[in-house]
Amino acid sequence: MNEYDSNRIYDSVKKIGFQKTVNYEDANCYLLNTCHIRDKAKEKVYHEIGRVKKIFRSKKKPLVIIAGCVAQAENQEMLKREPYIDLVIGPQSYHKINDKILEHIQKNKKTEETEFDAISKFEYFSKIRNNSQKVSSFLTIQEGCDKFCHFCVVPYTRGPEYSRPFEQILEEAKYLVDNDFDFGGLMKLRKNFKDLTEVRKAIGNF
């Protein structure tokens, strides 16, 4: 799920001029996409930020963005605990990331954006092509959950269950097939097996 999200975030920020770099020292924006399920996830984020601070100790500070489920769970607290962080954005707010980055650049304003708005997010990304440079690609069909199991953080970090419209899923799948992608997998947090089977059959007909 996070790999898919990271690719889609990049598809979005490219529209405002950002490009990937393999050299930390060259970055003017550092985005950490997080997973809350991993052991000591929150503390690992702060440890990573400490490492970034050391790298840029004698350089111009980059824009530091924490995205993903840890950002959603900790929200405003991250900005209070670590002033080095500039933007905290949850997984259902990625459609707002370009606006929040530009707002920070223009106003130097720290922001926390953790609203659950999966409908607007997927509508936004349906208009931006999935341009992963790999030979395979993931495709999200459903996110969130309404079950609130005592051991699971998904309802709190991904919000209520939301299934993308069938036609929207097929449109993205057709684009990927037409552009010679192999499917790395259909991404779901929870999905009715019958519906998932129907999606797989439909994709197989392309």
The one-digit pLDDT tens for each residue of the chain (206 residues) are 678 889 889 999 999 999 999 888 889 999 999 988 766 888 999 999 999 999 999 999 999 999 999 999 999 999 999 999 999 999 999 999 999 999 999 999 899 999 988 889 988 888 887 766 665 677 788 888 888 888 888 888 888 888 888 888 888 888 877 776 665 555 554 444 455 556 556 556 55
- Angstrom distance (rounded) from CA 197 to CA 154: 23
Sequence spans of domains, the chain: 2-113, 118-204
**Fold for domain 2-113?**
Rossmann fold (3.40.50)
Cβ 41 vs Cβ 34: under 8 Å: yes
Q: pTM (2 decimals)?
A: 0.82
- CA 162-167-173 angle, to 5 degrees, is 95
CB atoms < 10 A from the CB of 132, how many? 20
